[in-house]
Amino acid sequence: MYDVVIIGAGVIGCAIARELSRYQLHVLVLDQASDVCEGTSKANSGIIHAGYDATPGTSKAHYNVRGNPLVYQWAQELSVPCKNNTSLVLAFSEADLPKIAALIERGRQNGVKGLRTISREEVLGREPQVNPAIAGALLAETGGIVSPYGLTIALAEHAAVNGVEFRLDCQVQALSQRTDPNGRKAHFEVQSAQGLIQARAIVNAAGVFADVIHNSLSQDTLTISARRGEYWMLDKRIGAQFSATLFQLPTDKGKGILVTPTVEQTLILGPTSDFVPDKTDTRTTAAKQEEILATAALTWPGLRQDSFITSFSGLRAHLAEGDFRVGRAPDVPGYYLAAGMESPGLTAAPAIAIDLAEQIASDFDLVLKPDFQPPPRPIPGFSLEQLADPTQMDLLAAEIARDPAMGRLVCRCEQVTEAQIRAAIRRPVGARTLDGIKRRTRANMGRCQGGFCTPRILEILAEELDCDITTLTKSGGQSRILMGRLGVEP
User: Distance between CA 339 and CA 63 in Å, rounded?
Assistant: 13
Report yes or no: 138 and 49 within 8 Å, Cβ to Cβ.
no
Our CB check for ligand FAD shows the closer of 12 and 139 to be 12
Our CB check for ligand FAD shows the closer of 48 and 453 to be 48
Per DSSP, 45 falls in state -
Instruction: Give CA separation, 394 vs 115, 278, 386, 397, in Å.
Output: 46, 54, 11, 5
- State phi, psi for 486 to the nearest 5 degrees: -65, 135
User: Distance between CA 439 and CA 431 in Å, rounded?
Assistant: 9
Q: Read out DSSP for 319-348?
A: ETTSS-EEEE-TTSTTEEEEE---TTHHHH
Catalytic residue, chosen from 26, 49, 158, 214, is: 49
Q: Does 187 qualify as catalytic in the annotation?
A: no
- Coil/strand/helix, residue 34: coil
Contacts of 384 (CB under 8 A, 6+ apart): 415
Partners of residue 199 on adjacent β-strands: 2, 188
Least Å distance, CB 342 to ligand FAD, is 6
Least Å distance, CB 173 to ligand FAD, is 7
Least Å distance, CB 381 to ligand FAD, is 26
Our CB check for ligand FAD shows the closer of 46 and 430 to be 46
Contacts of 266 (CB under 8 A, 6+ apart): 233, 234, 235, 236, 239, 309
Least Å distance, CB 251 to ligand FAD, is 14
CA-based nearest residue to 334, from 198, 161, 477: 198
Interacting residues with ligand FAD (CB under 6 A): 7-13, 30-33, 38-41, 44-47, 49, 171-172, 205-207, 209, 229, 271, 314-316, 341-347
218: number of Cβ within 10 Å: 17
Our CB check for ligand FAD shows the closer of 260 and 417 to be 260
CA-based nearest residue to 420, from 475, 464, 389: 464
The crossing angle, in degrees rounded to 10, of helices 454-465 and 434-441 is 100
Our CB check for ligand FAD shows the closer of 45 and 110 to be 45
Least Å distance, CB 435 to ligand FAD, is 13
Our CB check for ligand FAD shows the closer of 264 and 342 to be 342
Our CB check for ligand FAD shows the closer of 8 and 381 to be 8
User: Distance between CA 365 and CA 359 in Å, rounded?
Assistant: 10
Our CB check for ligand FAD shows the closer of 44 and 420 to be 44
Least Å distance, CB 345 to ligand FAD, is 2
User: 362: part of which helix (H) or strand (E)?
Assistant: helix 345-363
- Coil/strand/helix, residue 187: strand
Per-residue burial over 309-320, b = 16 or more CB atoms within 10 Å of its CB, e = otherwise: bbbbbbbbbbbe
Least Å distance, CB 103 to ligand FAD, is 16
Determine the residue with CB nearest ligand FAD: 345
Least Å distance, CB 202 to ligand FAD, is 12
Active site residues: 49
